[in-house]
Structure 1
Amino acid sequence: MTSDWSQLRQIRRWPGQNSSLEKVPTELIYNGNTVQLWGAECKTLATQDERIRTKRLFKNAMSARDVGAASHGHEVENARRYFKDFLTHVHAHIEASLAKQINDFKRLRIEYVFSVPTTWNRDADTLNEVKQTIRGVVGKTQYRRGIIGMSEAAASAVETGQDRFKKGDVVLVCDTGGGTADVNIFKFVSSEKEAARIKPLTYDEGAPAGAASIDQAALDYIISKMRSIEKLDKDSAIWALEAVQAGFSNIKHDYGRSKREGYYLLPVPGMSGSQPPSEDFELGGKGSQEICFKIHPKLLEEWFNSAVNDILAIIDSQLEALAREHKGEKIV
């Protein structure tokens, strides 16, 4: 194994993707109890009927501590099964991909290092369950083993700080975007070209906050308003709901780039030619027969503000802990 960590490479090709991506969508579609599609395949290969069965946003539900909205409606037992199935497919793809690129790959000693949400550090049951799952998928042999190496905040510090920070630098890392916000303050103790090593100066802290909390708030709102649609049968209604969710995802990603005048309009499939079922819907435009769901920019602002305030509260507590416990340290 080389000690020069400047040559790290990422796997960017995954099933169902037409272009390279750094992340794989954490999604599964089942046929009965068998995984039919996973990752990017769930969007690119699935039919309408299959997409309404997509399992997603199940990471938070793996911990019995995360109840309510954070679990996105998943039971703990089911969420842990989804995790095992998803990890099995990711691991199989990694092994197959590297075996094609590296001679005698199966006889190389490979260590899979996993990061976990900081919220799990206070949940021994979930951590033990995840460790067993990793051991079952990766195996523990002469050539393979899997370990939980660090929290997601620590992993972000290592990834972003490898070439940016020098020994002795103190950084606050806020890793957010999906279902959790993970925050910690670290001090870099590694030298140049050495694998990044960090020392935590505060305890890991995390909470179910981030993009997923915005998605959940939007989903709750959309469902409450779409109940007024009587024209659609159950499957068509689910498909319409998913289409509106997909439209919301697009406006969420563009939010803040420019000031919005008027409502966001999200097309509702299966409703063309009908009259808007309530004041929460309108026709798509002059001469259009397309029915659209309306979302006011103020609502989007409220959902973003709520998520951001949750994250800022965690950051504030970490800064207070640094000032209290390490008075001589300053964040670079």
Structure 2
Amino acid sequence: MAGQPDLVVSIDFGMTCTGVAYCNVATGSDNVRHIQRWPGRTHANENKVPTLLVYPQGSSTPSSWGFLAETAQETSGAGYESREWFKIMLDEHLLEQMRQKAADPLSVPQIHEVEKWYTDYFQHLYRTIEARLKGELASQWCDAKIEFIFSVPTTWKPIPTVERFRKIISRSGFGSSATHTVSIGLTEAEAAAVYTARSMPGIFKENELLFVCDVGGGTTDLAVFRVKSATGGSLELAQVDVVFGATIGAAQLDSLYENTVLQRLQHADQAQPMGLADLNQTAWEMRISKEYQNAKCDYGSEESIADTATFVVSVPKLDRRYQNPQHGIGNGDMHFQRDDLKGFFDAQISKLFDMLDKQFTRIHQSHPGERIAHLVLSGGLGNSAYVQSCLRNRYSPGSSSHTNAHDIQIRIAPDPQLVVCKGNVADRVQKLKTGQSVLGWRCSRASYGTTCKVLHEPQNPKYYGLKTERDPLDGKMYVTNCVDWFIKQGEPVSSDHPIVRTFNRKCAPANPGAPEPNRVFPTEIVCSDVDRTLLPTVMNSCEYSNPAAVISIVY
């Protein structure tokens, strides 16, 4: 798509909620905005839409999605099935781990079912984006130049998970018009760093190390950056280590709460029948209730500390005359101590501490003598006052056991729940305006190379035992299936300048039978996740014990 786009749109597909940010580039603006009106909430402002689908039983077509699915699920009950928290299931390796750990392996979906949920959700999302943003354009939606940018979790491998995701979003309508393009942008932690740097350039100094921790609904991403330039009111960042991720987030916290509620309901029902048709459904509705969500979001805040020591959550469809003080149920409500939430939070925070500690140690080993100046929190769970308090107690100046964190300043990203989708838009808009990305250098999470052949040297021991063949055009012997690794895992790669390699290919000369011989050839690009020190020099050598993923690309 030649020329500048009219509209840049970024989608942050989350475990619990999904956000959409955009910039109307055609007007000359660099203001990044976000969609706030969603089906089912058209008269209220909501920063994100729930990642939720509802299907009638036996149907492969969803009856509702997002906020409409919450309403439908709460009011319809029997005869409908909800699909949520399926983001992490696109990782087939993780899906298999879930199947092995499940009490009933058949309850864990197959990968084709997960892909179907993704496609259904993104089809609804695409139609909503079009409906909300087409009024921003001077031309018709299908004729406008629109760039769609998607963020992906750090835990996803480029192959096969990210490639599977690419195919899904294409099937869902994104990029379906000739003037629309789709790309995978920054990872969630990278996008969070970009938006924070763009929004708060005055607090960072040149050459400082910046640690970003994006704690979302289902995953947590960590990334470390160096401030390369802090002039002109805008920062330029360079990544100094590969991004790391783990399945830590608000969804796991909610799952712990839901399991606790279900156990209390089951014990109460055994002691005194409650007359509820489906206790699992009841526990789910209590988990998405405003009473619980408000208590969770407020926990640890000044308002929460000043509030009562208890909170109540309505038990859907329970007769208000039902009384069961032993299990804290009465007048249609279940009663909780506010500090009951502490254990749910602490289970996630403990894993977060372990992840952060390992990263601090890793940076100390790779950059001895340097100190990390800032720890920036973003994401839904990163916005929790309790999480922030725990991190400050552990890592604030004078508290941390890590020598490179003694002077660290803990900061909260602006718009922590929207920082990922806004960061991708901000990075792209700056690249369009200046030719340079905010995040100028990124560390590769995998190694990439191209297959080639190398002139055989009989006296070179590294070629002993390797397959050779004679080139019919020059008569010389070559080692075949060699790999030239042009990017190695962990190496910084420029976001603005291409990597250039020169290769020679011998071609048969033209002759009367083939006056115009083919001069276009397929080239294999090899991707590997093995440690950079273990990368093979030859594809068919015994040293290559971990199979590489190969993509054939025709240039």
TM-score range relative to shorter protein:
0.7 to 0.9
Counterparts of 1:72-111 in structure 2, within 5 Å, are: 75-77=109-111, 78-104=113-139, 105-111=141-147
Q: CA deviation at 1:196?
A: 6.9
**2:540 corresponds to:** none
The TM-score normalised by the length of structure 1 is 0.84
**2:321 corresponds to:** 273
Q: What letter matches 1:91 in structure 2?
A: Y
Is 1:244 the equivalent of 2:286? yes
* Residues 1:83 and 1:187: Cα distance change in structure 2 (over 3 Å): farther
Larger relative helix fraction: 1
SS of the residue corresponding to residue 92 of structure 2 reads: coil
2:65 to 33, 38, 41: 38
**2:211 corresponds to:** 172
**Alignment size in residue pairs:** 322
Q: What letter matches 1:35 in structure 2?
A: P
The answer (yes or no) to whether the contact 2:213–2:221 under 8 Å persists in 1 is yes
Q: What letter matches 2:296 in structure 1?
A: K
The answer (yes or no) to whether the contact 1:281–1:291 under 8 Å persists in 2 is no
Can you give the 5+ residue segments of structure 2 that lack an aligned partner in the other structure? 5-24, 375-555
Which one is further off, 62-71 or 149-158?
Answer: 62-71
Q: CA deviation at 1:206?
A: 1.2
Could you tell me how far apart the structure 2 residues matched to 1:182 and 1:95 are? 30
The answer (yes or no) to whether the contact 2:52–2:82 under 8 Å persists in 1 is yes
Is 1:318 the equivalent of 2:359? yes
Could you tell me how far apart the structure 1 residues matched to 2:29 and 2:355 are? 32
Could you tell me how far apart the structure 2 residues matched to 1:323 and 1:91 are? 44
1:309 to 335, 350, 355: 350
Is 1:19 the equivalent of 2:41? no
* Residues 1:291 and 1:98: Cα distance change in structure 2 (over 3 Å): closer
Q: Deviations over 1:227-279 (max 9, x none)?
A: 232333434x3453234222322321221133476554323232322231x72
2:168 to 128, 133, 153: 133
2:159 to 115, 121, 124: 124
Could you tell me how far apart the structure 2 residues matched to 1:50 and 1:19 are? 25
Is 1:231 the equivalent of 2:274? yes
Could you tell me how far apart the structure 1 residues matched to 2:280 and 2:238 are? 48
The answer (yes or no) to whether the contact 1:58–1:74 under 8 Å persists in 2 is no
Q: What letter matches 1:331 in structure 2?
A: A
1:55 to 55, 62, 83: 83
Could you tell me how far apart the structure 2 residues matched to 1:102 and 1:15 are? 21
* Residues 1:141 and 1:268: Cα distance change in structure 2 (over 3 Å): closer
Is 1:156 the equivalent of 2:204? no
* Residues 1:29 and 1:65: Cα distance change in structure 2 (over 3 Å): same
SS of the residue corresponding to residue 30 of structure 1 reads: strand
The answer (yes or no) to whether the contact 1:152–1:175 under 8 Å persists in 2 is yes
Could you tell me how far apart the structure 2 residues matched to 1:248 and 1:81 are? 30
* Residues 1:74 and 1:170: Cα distance change in structure 2 (over 3 Å): farther
Larger relative strand fraction: 2
Could you tell me how far apart the structure 2 residues matched to 1:244 and 1:171 are? 39
**1:287 corresponds to:** none
Can you give the 5+ residue segments of structure 1 that lack an aligned partner in the other structure? 284-289
SS of the residue corresponding to residue 189 of structure 2 reads: helix
1:186 to 225, 241, 252: 225
Larger Rg: 2
Q: Deviations over 1:19-73 (max 9, x none)?
A: 12221111111232112211122234665225963322111222233344999x7
The answer (yes or no) to whether the contact 1:134–1:147 under 8 Å persists in 2 is no
The TM-score normalised by the length of structure 2 is 0.52
**1:254 corresponds to:** 298
SS of the residue corresponding to residue 93 of structure 2 reads: coil
**1:295 corresponds to:** 336
| Identical pairs, percent | 23
